[in-house]
Amino acid sequence: MKSETISYLPEADKGPWGIYLEQVERVTPYLGKLSYWVDTLKRPKRILIVDVPIHLDDGTVVHFEGYRVHHNTSRGPAKGGVRYHQDVTLSEVMALSAWMTIKNAAVGLPYGGGKGGIRVDPRRLSPSELERITRRYTSEIGILIGPKKDIPAPDVGTGPREMAWMMDTYSMNVGATTPGVVTGKPIAIGGSLGRADATGNGVFFASRSAAEKIGLDIEGSRVVVQGFGNVGNAAARAFYDHGAKIVAISDVTGAVINEAGIDPYDLADYVSKSETRGVLGYPKAEPLPAAELFQVPCEFLIPAALERQITEQNAWKVETKIVAEGANGPTTPAADDILAERGVIVVPDVIANAGGVTVSYFEWVQDFNSYFWTEEEINKNLERVMREAFEAVWQVSQDRKVSLRTAAYIVAASRVLEARAMRGLYP
């Protein structure tokens, strides 16, 4: 008897997890005999929901809800970031963990998929409160994480500082310094050179590979970036450094446009000094309604914010040749179909933004060996991995006459399910 897919959520709103399940359904007909195991992809291996109580600076006690999800570990330990955001939900963390399974397999990393998060607005907490919430959360999920079990990393709302606290907390609890328990750490405690810009650089490498396939030059091309955090900032700088023109950028504060081009280095300097800590008010560009960002004509559109940004409501307005997904899940399945009909190439998140986890893998390997590479070596190997992964996916898309997303899922799902089949079921 075929097992029933567990949704964990009401049928009316499956959220990001529902989008992921639809993506799996789309790839299933292409899996051949491996489709026997496809329900493996539809069920998280384990879900941990934790209470995270802390003392605020004023002495009061507040409780936050945290998650850590292992989607699949057939190919190796769980790997995925920790997100601090006020809109974090179980559906989101489940989907993000599943996308990590697909992403790691698509680029050939020996990892499974995991993800974590706390429903909190980190902007409302002081540094000491953030440290307390991070250390408490780390202790609560300590039963799952470890350098050979589950390796967290930064995500939205977290960074090297939080990873340092996580590493220290885990190390104190196990009685030994364990740098390999997390990646994305500061260099001083076992972090890797090149990690900070790795995801954005990976977006650029994947975009360039796609552009080469259609004879599109980076130099002189127009780029629109949604999100000016770590990923969007680094991607914008990479395009700018290679002669592209950044014509519009947005973040949580608003959007700005300058058809003559925006210097992302200058914009980053402005953001660091502005009261809003955002792009709004940048004097060398004009304000743009955020809803009109995707309508700005360009050759490359980089959604590098949150999921479900390009939908069936706005996909028909997108004016670009290539969408390179810097964020996880920014394009819905319905929007994928619309973009395909319009001839827009979508480089899916599981390839486009895999630079971060690739360099996280490099960091993990370096921590185990206590031998660290130069930044030049890191970037050279990152570009090689990204190019090889894109080429494999592009070839499948051409051979099977499918989108790059479906091709990426064919490659990744086949690798995961082959490992599942070979390992068998125990007991």
Active site residues: 115
Measured in Å, how far apart are the chain's first and last C-alpha atoms? 19
Q: Identify residue 402 by its one-letter amino acid code.
A: V
8 Å CB contact between 35 and 407: no
Cα Rg of the chain (Å, integer): 21
Residue of 411, 351, 395 whose CA lies nearest to 30: 411
Beta-strand runs (E) in 348-404: none
Residues contacting residue 104 through CB under 8 Å, at least 6 positions apart: 75, 76, 79, 110, 111, 112, 113, 354, 357, 412
Report the C-alpha gap between 294 and 304 in whole angstroms.
12
Report the C-alpha gap between 329 and 136 in whole angstroms.
29
Q: Using N-to-C axis directions, what is the helix angle for 404-423 and 15-27, rounded to 10°?
A: 80
310-317 long-range contacts, CB within 8 A, separation 24+: 310/335, 310/339, 311/335, 312/338, 315/339, 315/342, 316/342
Q: Is 276 helix (H, G, I), strand (E, B) or coil?
A: coil
Within 13 Å of residue 419, how many CA atoms lie on the same side as its CB? 19
For residue 39 the two structure tokens come to: 């329900």
What does the DSSP assignment read for 193-225?
TT-TTHHHHHHHHHHHHHHHHTT--STT-EEEE
Residues contacting residue 421 through CB under 8 Å, at least 6 positions apart: 34, 36, 37
Sign, CA dihedral 138-140-145-150, equals negative
336-344 long-range contacts, CB within 8 A, separation 24+: 336/403, 336/405, 338/312, 339/310, 339/315, 340/403, 342/315, 342/316, 342/318, 344/318, 344/320
Nearest 5 degrees, angle CA 410-CA 414-CA 416? 125
